């Protein structure tokens, strides 16, 4: 019985929002004590975005008190705190309205459920994960904004070489933005030979990036330095 | 697909899988269906997007409407009641799984791409046959081309399984699963994840029959154990 209740409550998650929103009066006694409840409920079809569409703040706080049918329903809700208000008020209305209301509007699509193409949703998820990875990397250490034309000095730890820290210097000739795999290319003349090195900007093996000089360039990619005199690539 | 750096600074290619609202829709039994299996549904769907037989199937079970259904043969002691939610915590980081999916369709492709044929030289007199199959058999004996001869044809869009995929990270709050390496199919395609056949996990450690969430769970991400000693400093 408990699982059936849980299943019913989860059906109501999607399909009962229409009842709550259509009734509009909200005279349906919504016995909540919630801080953000009233302005959101009183607005008309306010679409609540899923967690991957925006940086979702939890809609309710932990001090909410709800009168629910069973404890299993409460558990189902508390599992996903990021889920939107629609799930919350849906189960509340299910708790208050009797079972016959469940069958009344079963075929009506819920007003706030968007079933977009999955390729779109997963794209949003990946972008969000990438952004979080970049933010996490920025928190660990300060990564300066290196641009082409900067002369930088790197302290790179090479794990394969018994974790020795090597100091590398050069002029940044390219920067490719790709979220957490943003890479930049460094060029330098070493013993008369031009050497180019590519590094991921957010790699944990780059211990320090120091900008020594900023040369004035009028390009985003300085590949022309490969054909120029050696003096321009030595730093 | 993305890539991350693990705690020792090694770069691991990753695929992110999203266990989107998996519920048990139907339990198949020996008496009624002839085999023992669980039918699991994933995703969400609006009622207007489903046909009446499909709607009835979900209504009969009393479960939310799903986008995709799949059957998983299980042993009798691993059967779950209808409506049970299967979350990402069913798996554990460090475990190996087999992932099955429909591969990316490549259309009509030639022998070089489809079977890895070497083709013929680009110059030195090769006439009009740089990418062709070459010979297809003998002469009067056998006097025919054998069945199954590798030739050009439709490639991709078939069901394939990638075995022994290592799970790196689990995020229970957002139902995300990070696995190492590639997975068949495009972004947004459905895949089926099972415990690995050849690297069988330890059943005493894994949740059996599945992970039943409780309200006071720790929903922080879990990462696989990578050992305490630095693999790069041991020689």
Closest-CA distance, B175 to chain A, in angstroms, reads 10
Of A52, A78, A107, the CB nearest to B215: A78
Exposure letters A110-124 (e unless 16+ CB within 10 A, then b):
bebbeeeebeebbeb
Pairing of strands B176-180, B11-18: antiparallel
pLDDT band (50, 70, 90) for residue A23? very low
The verdict on whether omega for the bond into residue A97 sits within 30 degrees of 0, i.e. cis, is no
Answer with the residue of higher pLDDT: A64 or B233: B233
B interface mutation test: which of A9, A58, A79, A104 has the most B CBs within 10 A? Answer: A79
Q: Are A173 and A155 in contact (CB under 8 A)?
A: no
pLDDT band (50, 70, 90) for residue A55? low
pLDDT at A96 over 60: no
Distance CA B170, CA B16 (A): 10
CB pairs under 8 A between A and B: 109
Answer with the residue of higher pLDDT: A207 or A112: A207
Answer with the residue of higher pLDDT: A110 or B83: B83
Asked whether the beta carbons of residue B82 and residue A81 sit closer than 8 angstroms, the reply is no
A interface mutation test: which of B87, B104, B220, B232 has the most A CBs within 10 A? Answer: B232
Q: Say what the pLDDT of residue A48 is.
A: 65
pLDDT band (50, 70, 90) for residue A10? very low
Of A11, A110, A203, the CB nearest to B63: A11
Asked whether the beta carbons of residue A122 and residue B188 sit closer than 8 angstroms, the reply is yes
Asked whether the beta carbons of residue B9 and residue A159 sit closer than 8 angstroms, the reply is yes
Asked whether the beta carbons of residue B45 and residue A109 sit closer than 8 angstroms, the reply is no
Asked whether the beta carbons of residue A14 and residue B44 sit closer than 8 angstroms, the reply is yes
Q: Say what the pLDDT of residue A1 is.
A: 52
Distance CA A116, CA A132 (A): 23
pLDDT of B107-163, one tens digit each? 999 999 999 999 999 988 888 889 999 999 999 989 999 999 999 999 999 999 999
Give me the residues of chain B with pLDDT under 50, please. Answer: none
Distance CA B213, CA B207 (A): 11
Pairing of strands A193-200, A206-214: unpaired
Backbone angles phi, psi at A221, to 5 degrees: -125, 125
Torsion (CA) B170, B22, A127, B222 in degrees, nearest 10? -10
- Give me the residue label for tokens 């959101």: A40
Six-digit token string for A104: 């009344």
Q: Give the HSE-up count for residue A2: Cα atoms under 13 Å, Cβ half-sphere.
A: 7
Asked whether the beta carbons of residue B81 and residue A3 sit closer than 8 angstroms, the reply is yes
Asked whether the beta carbons of residue B62 and residue A8 sit closer than 8 angstroms, the reply is yes
Of A13, A117, A133, the CB nearest to B64: A13
Lowest-confidence segment of A44-53, A101-110, A121-130, B110-119 by average pLDDT: A101-110
Answer with the residue of higher pLDDT: A28 or A229: A229
Q: Are A186 and A120 in contact (CB under 8 A)?
A: no
Name every chain A residue with its beta carbon within 8 A of the beta carbon of B219. Answer: 79
Task: Report the pLDDT averaged over residues A215-235.
Answer: 93
Name every chain A residue with its beta carbon within 8 A of the beta carbon of B84. Answer: 3
Task: Name the nearest CA neighbour of B232 among A98, A162, A139.
Answer: A162
CATH number of the domain at B2-105+159-223, please? 3.30.160.810
Asked whether the beta carbons of residue A204 and residue B5 sit closer than 8 angstroms, the reply is yes
Asked whether the beta carbons of residue B187 and residue A133 sit closer than 8 angstroms, the reply is no
Closest-CA distance, A230 to chain B, in angstroms, reads 34
Closest-CA residue in chain A for B187? A119
Task: Name the nearest CA neighbour of A30 among A71, A8, A60.
Answer: A60
Q: Are A77 and A71 in contact (CB under 8 A)?
A: no
> For chain B, first and last CA: distance in Å?
32
Q: Say what the pLDDT of residue B210 is.
A: 84
Six-digit token string for B52: 């009446």
Asked whether the beta carbons of residue B59 and residue A123 sit closer than 8 angstroms, the reply is no
Burial class (CB in 10 A: 0-12, 13-18, 19+), A5: middle
Asked whether the beta carbons of residue B8 and residue A159 sit closer than 8 angstroms, the reply is yes
- Residue B81 DSSP SS3: coil
Closest-CA distance, A62 to chain B, in angstroms, reads 12
pLDDT at A22 over 70: no
Answer with the residue of higher pLDDT: B226 or A99: B226
Six-digit token string for A225: 């330095």
pLDDT at A72 over 50: no
Asked whether the beta carbons of residue A123 and residue B10 sit closer than 8 angstroms, the reply is no
Closest-CA residue in chain A for B55? A107
* B66 C-beta neighbours (distance < 10 Å), count: 23
* B42 C-beta neighbours (distance < 10 Å), count: 20
Name every chain B residue with its beta carbon within 8 A of the beta carbon of A8. Answer: 62
pLDDT band (50, 70, 90) for residue A54? low
Distance CA A225, CA A198 (A): 16
- Give me the residue label for tokens 């990875």: A133
Distance CA A167, CA A157 (A): 9
Backbone angles phi, psi at B153, to 5 degrees: 170, -165
pLDDT at A65 over 50: no
Q: How far is CA A169 from CA A155, A165, A166, A223, B182, in A?
A: 9, 13, 10, 17, 36
ipTM, interface predicted TM-score of the complex: 0.86
**Model pTM score:** 0.72
Of A8, A10, A109, the CB nearest to B48: A109
pLDDT of A158-204, one tens digit each? 988 888 899 999 999 999 999 999 999 999 999 999 999 999 999 99
pLDDT of A75-92, one tens digit each? 444 444 444 334 333 344
């Amino acid at each position: 019985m408990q699982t059936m209740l849980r299943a019913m409550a989860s059906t109501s998650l999607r399909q009962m929002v229409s009842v709550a929103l259509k009734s509009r009066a909200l005279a349906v006694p919504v016995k909540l004590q919630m801080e953000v409840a009233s302005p959101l409920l009183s607005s008309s079809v306010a679409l609540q975005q899923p967690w991957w569409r925006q940086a979702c703040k939890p809609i309710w706080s932990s001090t909410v008190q709800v009168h629910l049918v069973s404890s299993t329903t409460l558990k189902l809700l508390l599992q996903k705190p990021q889920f939107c208000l629609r799930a919350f008020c849906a189960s509340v209305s299910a708790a208050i309205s009797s079972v016959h209301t469940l069958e009344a509007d079963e075929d009506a699509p819920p007003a706030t459920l968007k079933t977009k193409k999955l390729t779109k949703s997963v794209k949003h998820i990946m972008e969000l994960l990438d952004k979080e990875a970049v933010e996490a990397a920025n928190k660990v250490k300060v990564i300066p904004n290196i641009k082409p034309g900067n002369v930088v000095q790197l302290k790179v730890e090479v794990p394969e070489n018994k974790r020795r820290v090597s100091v590398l210097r050069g002029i940044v000739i390219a920067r490719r933005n790709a979220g957490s795999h943003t890479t930049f290319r460094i060029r330098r003349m070493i013993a008369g030979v031009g050497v180019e090195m590519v590094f991921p900007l957010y790699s944990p093996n780059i211990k320090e990036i120091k900008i020594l000089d900023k040369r004035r360039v009028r390009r985003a990619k300085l590949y022309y330095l490969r054909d120029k005199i050696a003096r321009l690539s030595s730093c | 697909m993305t890539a991350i750096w693990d705690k020792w600074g090694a770069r691991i290619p990753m695929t992110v899988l999203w266990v989107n609202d998996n519920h048990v829709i139907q339990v198949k039994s020996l008496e009624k269906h002839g085999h023992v299996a669980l039918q699991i549904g994933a995703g969400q769907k609006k009622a207007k997007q489903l046909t009446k037989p499909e709607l009835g199937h979900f209504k009969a079970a009393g479960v939310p409407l799903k986008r995709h259904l799949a059957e998983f043969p299980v042993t009798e002691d691993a059967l779950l009641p209808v409506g049970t939610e299967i979350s990402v915590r069913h798996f554990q980081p460090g475990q190996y799984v087999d992932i099955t999916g429909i591969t990316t369709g490549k259309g009509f492709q030639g022998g070089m791409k489809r079977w890895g044929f070497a083709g013929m030289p680009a110059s030195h007199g090769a006439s009009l046959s740089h990418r062709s199959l070459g010979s297809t058999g003998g002469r009067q004996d056998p006097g025919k081309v054998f069945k199954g001869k590798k030739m050009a044809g439709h490639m991709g869009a078939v069901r394939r399984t990638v075995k022994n995929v290592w799970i790196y990270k689990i995020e229970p709050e957002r139902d995300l699963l990070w696995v190492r390496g590639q997975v068949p199919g495009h972004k947004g395609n459905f895949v089926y994840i099972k415990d690995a056949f050849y690297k069988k996990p330890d059943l005493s450690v894994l949740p059996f029959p599945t992970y039943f969430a409780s309200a006071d769970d720790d929903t922080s991400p879990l990462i696989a154990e990578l050992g305490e000693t630095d693999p790069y400093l041991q020689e």
